């Protein structure tokens, strides 16, 4: 159930509904997908998700669930009831949580894609060292992506810096969703592992999450168009 083959997922990280719909009303559901994250969902709840879904967009509900298996599976079933296209959990919730959630969703006739976050793109090696010792970013991403693939999920959230490694190790059909996308010259903000849209395509990324380079641009629609053009050029 999808309306587009667009690779860009716009992160709607705004704090008012006016800002959200000022942008969304200027967007075409054929040229992008939309992401509702923790801030928007906490402020405006399921109503804003339903409104975006009924406007014809593929919506990624990014709440990064991380809890015991029963709780996460039930939360993902609730997300499915909203009609979203994609939902995510933290892979570090472990194989049982991943398998149970995937099994529950797969019983639905129209299940959203289920993906798992590996290592947040804001993390660098020293941040990782302070949480998990004796491992590199690539090793930790590969470990979490492997348990995710083995649990039958559709893919992972990772940095595009890990994309070619993961495609080689886990196969082409295991989908990679990559935030931390920055066109050349864009502000890095709080991201650590950043990649340009064209490099992400070359490395095999399936979907890229882009927030501030679009939402904070003087002309967000022009910024999206430029990124879509960069992607199209890299695909040829
Ligand atoms: O799951 C996510 O979407 C996500 C995972 C991750 O590792 N890093 C990450 O930045 N994100 C989200 O992707 C978006 C990135 O936004 P920008 O940095 O503004 O492009 C934000 O909404 C984050 O919550």
* Mean pLDDT, residues 54-64 taken together: 98
- 64 catalytic per annotation: yes
Sign, CA dihedral 133-134-138-144, equals: negative
Asked if 12 and 32 count as a contact pair (C-beta separation under 8 A), the reply is no
Tell me what ipTM this predicted complex has: 0.99
Ligand 1 pocket member 157 (CB < 6 A): yes
Q: Is 212 annotated as a binding residue?
A: yes
Helix (H, G, I), strand (E, B) or coil at 191: coil
Sign, CA dihedral 76-59-174-215, equals: negative
Centre of ligand 1 to C-alpha 90, Å, is 13
Domain 8-235, CATH number (from 3.20.20.70, 3.40.50.2000, 3.40.50.620, 3.40.190.290)? 3.20.20.70
Q: According to the model, what pLDDT value does residue 236 have?
A: 87
| Tens-digit pLDDT profile for residues 66-116 | 999 999 999 999 999 999 999 999 999 999 999 999 999 999 999 999 999
Predicted TM-score of the model (pTM): 0.98
* Mean pLDDT, residues 197-219 taken together: 98
Separation of alpha carbons 108 and 114, rounded Å: 12
Give 15's Cβ-side CA count (13 Å radius): 0
Residue ranges covered by each domain of the chain: 8-235
Task: State the DSSP string of 118-140.
Answer: -S-TT--HHHHHTTS-S--HHHH
| Tens-digit pLDDT profile for residues 125-148 | 999 999 999 999 999 999 999 999
Q: According to the model, what pLDDT value does residue 151 have?
A: 98
């Amino acid at each position: 159930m999808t309306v587009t083959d667009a690779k860009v997922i716009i992160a709607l990280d705004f704090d008012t509904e006016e800002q959200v719909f000022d942008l969304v009303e200027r967007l075409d559901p054929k040229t992008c997908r939309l992401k509702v994250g923790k801030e928007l969902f906490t402020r405006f709840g399921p109503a804003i998700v339903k409104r975006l879904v009924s406007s014809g967009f593929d919506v990624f509900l990014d709440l990064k669930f991380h809890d015991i298996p029963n709780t996460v599976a039930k939360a993902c079933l609730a997300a499915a009831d909203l009609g979203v296209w994609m939902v995510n959990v933290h892979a570090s919730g472990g194989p049982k949580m991943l398998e149970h959630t995937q099994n529950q969703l797969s019983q639905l006739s129209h299940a959203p894609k289920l993906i798992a976050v590996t290592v947040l793109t804001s993390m660098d090696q020293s941040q990782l060292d302070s949480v998990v010792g004796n491992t590199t970013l690539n090793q930790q991403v590969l470990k979490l992506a492997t348990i995710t693939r083995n649990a039958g999920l559709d893919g992972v959230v990772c940095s595009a810096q890990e994309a070619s490694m993961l495609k080689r190790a886990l196969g082409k059909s295991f989908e990679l969703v990559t935030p931390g996308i920055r066109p050349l010259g864009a502000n890095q903000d709080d991201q650590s592992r950043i990649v340009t849209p064209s490099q992400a395509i070359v490395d095999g990324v399936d979907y890229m999450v882009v927030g501030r380079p679009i939402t904070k641009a003087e002309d967000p629609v022009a910024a999206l168009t430029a990124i879509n053009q960069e992607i199209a050029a890299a695909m040829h």
